[in-house]
Amino acid sequence: MQYRRVCLESLGYTLPEEIVTTDELECRLDPVYQRLQLPHGRLELMTGIRERRFFPPGTLPGTIDIQSGEKAIQASCIDREHIGALVHGSVCRDYLEPATACGVHHGLELSSDCMIYDVSNACLGVLTGMLQIANMIELGQIRAGLVVGTECGRQLVENTIDRLNTDQSLNRRNIKDFIASLTIGSGSVAILLCDEELSQTKNHLTAASIVAHTDQHHLCRSQGMENFMSTDSEQLLNEGVATGVATFGRFLEATDWRQDKIDKTICHQVGIAHRKLLFEALDLDTRRDYSTFETLGNTGAVALPLSMALALEAGHIQPDERVAMLGIGSGINCQMIGLHWQESRVLGELPTPEQVSS
């Protein structure tokens, strides 16, 4: 997929205030740790995750979507009347129906002509929404579109802790299937894309590549963020990296970029082992990458774009740089997007009325 008229104009994000350390989680896991004689500190050592954040219990993703979406709109300076599509792309949703995007559409006061729907694609949902909106813009069907997503991982982590402490059938071997659930965190992001004529930043989306390696779809299964997740972490890691390698070859062809000419990368945030193995396999320099799993954990479908927003805010990405968004999700699916960056517009906090008036 190649693009000529699509720009990534702005991002908005919302981080939960509550921080929960891995050390705290392991203290809560003391019953199973003692029973199986597991050493304290192994979870952080295995994953590289020191902490993660959680929204308050009972938080509906759509309510946070509205906050992040409003930030992205304000950062873009684009009239919301131009937004012709709204996609909610995270794993977490408010209800089975209606679409979470409906409440977000109402909260953001978007046009009645705006197409709205939810996309479900595990950790690639937000990126999938980006590509769908990019395609609509490239075809001239809409002038701008907004992708939102909010992951609320608290219930999954807490349910997993309860299960590990009470299930006497668990042993040192099969407990590994639950480790991935303990890496989950919460966060929210919104991405606004528009056509070149509307854009003030000229952050061109150049190309994208996808690979569906679905013969491995059984390696990670979940009934939702509020229920249990079973993951063959080791096999998923190996198969995911192999799928990433296959996609990266197609990505270089689609973008017509040389590997050593990629200035910056943003990857899906899983943990230290995934990052190390993937970047070795792709022969990419981790110093060009920006990681957030250390303090945010794995925030599902928002992990990559949220890391992108934080990387931009930190000045990691500079004008005239080639940026590769490297997305890998269970299924196994892989999507990679190339951007030629120029100007960063990111909003993490809404301005006060005094700031607006000034």
Annotated catalytic residue within 123, 152, 194, 334: 123
Rounded to whole angstroms, how far apart are CA atoms 87 and 102? 10
Does the pLDDT of residue 230 top 80, yes or no?
no
Q: Return the ∠ at Cα 235 (arms to 323 and 249), rounded to 5°.
A: 35
The torsion angles phi and psi of 144, rounded to 5 degrees, stand at: -155, 155
5 in a structural domain: no
Phi/psi for 221 (5° steps) reads: -135, 140
Question: Is the distance from CB of 122 to CB of 303 less than 8 angstroms?
Answer: no
Residue 97 catalytic? yes
Collect all residues with Cβ–Cβ distance below 8 Å to 84 and sequence separation of at least 6. Answer: 111, 113, 114, 115, 136, 141, 142, 143, 144, 145
**Neighbour tally for 43: CB within 10 Å:** 19
Please identify which of the residues 17, 97, 197, 354 carries the catalytic annotation. Answer: 97
Answer yes or no: is 254 within a domain: yes
Would residue 124 count as lying in a domain? no
In a domain, 71, yes or no: no
User: What DSSP state is assigned to residue 317?
Assistant: S
Distance (Å, whole) CA 292 – CA 303: 8
Query: Is 70 exceeded by the pLDDT of residue 298?
Result: yes
Distance separating alpha carbons of residues 71 and 199, to the nearest angstrom: 17
280 found inside a domain: yes
In a domain, 97, yes or no: no
Tell me if residue 220 falls in helix, strand or coil: strand
| pLDDT tens profile 231-280 | 556 666 677 788 888 898 999 999 999 988 999 999 999 889 889 999 99
CATH code at position 227:
3.40.47.10
Query: How many structural domains are present in the chain?
Result: 1
Range of the domain at 283: 204-346
Residue-wise pLDDT tens digits, 155-179:
999 999 999 999 999 998 888 888 8
Residues 81-123 have pLDDT tens digits of: 999 999 999 999 999 899 999 999 999 999 999 999 999 998 9
Per the listing, tokens 């590997």 go with: 259
> What's the CA gap between 333 and 206, in Å, rounded?
20
Task: Note whether residue 46 is domain-resident.
Answer: no
Asked if the structure places residue 226 within a domain, the reply is yes
